[in-house]
Amino acid sequence: MNRLVVLGSVNADHVLRVPHFPRPGETLTGHSYQVVPGGKGANQAVAAARLGAAVSFIARIGDDAIGRQMKAGFANDGIDVSAVEQDEHLPTGIAIIYVSDEGENSIGISAEANGALTPAVVKCHEALIAGAHTLLLQLEVPLESVFEAARLARTHGTQVVLNPAPARPLSAELLALVDLITPNQTEAELLTGVKVSDEASAAQAAARFHQMGIGEVMITLGSQGVYCSNGRQQALIPGFRVEAVDTTAAGDTFNGALLAAELAGADFHEAVRFAHGAAALSVTRFGAQSSIPSKQEVDTFLQ
Ligand code: ADP
């Protein structure tokens, strides 16, 4: 079976609901405190596995109960966790998230064990990357490790997909190793200098990505859908209209679903439709990994 390797972050998301964001010096009483599994790498690995892909995850958790619990959760979703290693010195990565009554969020993150996913650790998993059909990367682990993984994948003929989130400037050397890039509007603007708001501006940004040596570009535009270009054909493919309650992990679900469908043999339009369906379902639910639907749920939604 075509295997997907996801390399990326694991975070414990500490979520507190508050009437408004605390001002400097203010102590505020919140409610509904929860610790939930997150991290872009983990979310995308879980999405791809839940949606039918054979997934191996390369990641680093800390020597703590929450890290072990999340690793057990990944295994429960059918992910190969042999390359999810435990760091002896650092805690699992964290995000501290305030969600206001207006539904806005304010987030502080700390890489912790994710920061110890070094290029040397990545190199130890060369065989896994070499044996995969596709490698999926994001930017919540050290950039030199993202580069090392992409370099190894390119050497072995493994397709490199980069979801360049959260938005960070990237070197031309890294971008030239990417086969498919999947930024949202903010990330596309940071990397190309083009403010992306509609089809015309997305086309301009996509052209810049092609100039950087990237063959395939898919710029996600939230509720507007996704702009796709392979340099010869372009299209803005709309998503599904749903009542959005929490868009956390929409992009992560889109990426995981897209690759799960592609690796299962779907053609391009089927794969995009499946990814839109999965991401639309995820925005109708609260949370990150908890909002990611199963393949059966997506198939039912698309009928
Ligand atoms: P990110 O979460 O990375 O910022 P986007 O907001 O661009 O990514 O959304 C990714 C995908 O999720 C979209 O292409 C679409 O399929 C789906 N999506 C996001 N927001 C909505 C929404 N409000 N309604 C329906 N689908 C949505």
The residue behind tokens 């990505």 is: 209
pLDDT given at position 5: 98
Ligand 1 atom having least distance to the Cα of 276: 16
Kindly state the average pLDDT of the residues 224-250: 94
Kindly state the average pLDDT of the residues 24-48: 96
Q: Is the distance from the beta carbon of residue 226 to the nearest atom of ligand 1 less than 6 Å?
A: yes
- Average pLDDT across the chain, whole number: 96
Confidence of residue 99 (pLDDT cuts 50, 70, 90): confident
Kindly state the average pLDDT of the residues 230-256: 94
pLDDT given at position 93: 98
- Rounded distance between C-alpha atoms, residue 276 and residue 258, angstroms: 8
Q: Which of 77, 246, 252, 299 is catalytic?
A: 252
Ligand 1 atom having least distance to the Cα of 184: 7
Whether residue 240 is predicted with pLDDT greater than 90 in this model: the reply is: yes
> Rounded to a whole number, what is the largest CA-CA distance in the chain?
56
Confidence of residue 286 (pLDDT cuts 50, 70, 90): confident
pLDDT given at position 1: 65
Q: Is the distance from the beta carbon of residue 283 to the nearest atom of ligand 1 less than 6 Å?
A: yes
- List the structure tokens of 20: 């408004």
252 annotated active-site: yes
Q: Is the distance from the beta carbon of residue 240 to the nearest atom of ligand 1 less than 6 Å?
A: yes
Whether residue 115 is predicted with pLDDT greater than 90 in this model: the reply is: yes
Q: Tell me: cis bond preceding 166? Omega within 30 of 0 counts.
A: yes
Kindly state the average pLDDT of the residues 259-269: 97
Residue nearest to atom 26 of ligand 1 (CA): 280
Mutate to test the pocket of ligand 1, among 220, 252, 281 (most ligand atoms within 8 A of CB): 220
- List the structure tokens of 220: 């996600």
Whether this model's pTM surpasses 0.90:
yes
Written in H, E and C, the secondary structure of 153-216 is HHHHCCEEEECCCCCCCCCHHHHCCCCEECCEHHHHHHHHCCCCCCHHHHHHHHHHHHHCCCCE
Confidence of residue 103 (pLDDT cuts 50, 70, 90): confident
Mutate to test the pocket of ligand 1, among 187, 196, 283, 292 (most ligand atoms within 8 A of CB): 283
Order of all β-strands in the sheet with 105-110: 31-38, 11-18, 93-100, 105-110
Q: Per residue in 71-97, is it b (16+ CB within 10 Å) or e — as a string?
A: beebeebebbbebbbebeebbbbbbeb
Report the separation in Å between the CA atom of 125 and the middle of ligand 1, taken as the mean of its atom positions. Answer: 32
Report the separation in Å between the CA atom of 128 and the middle of ligand 1, taken as the mean of its atom positions. Answer: 30
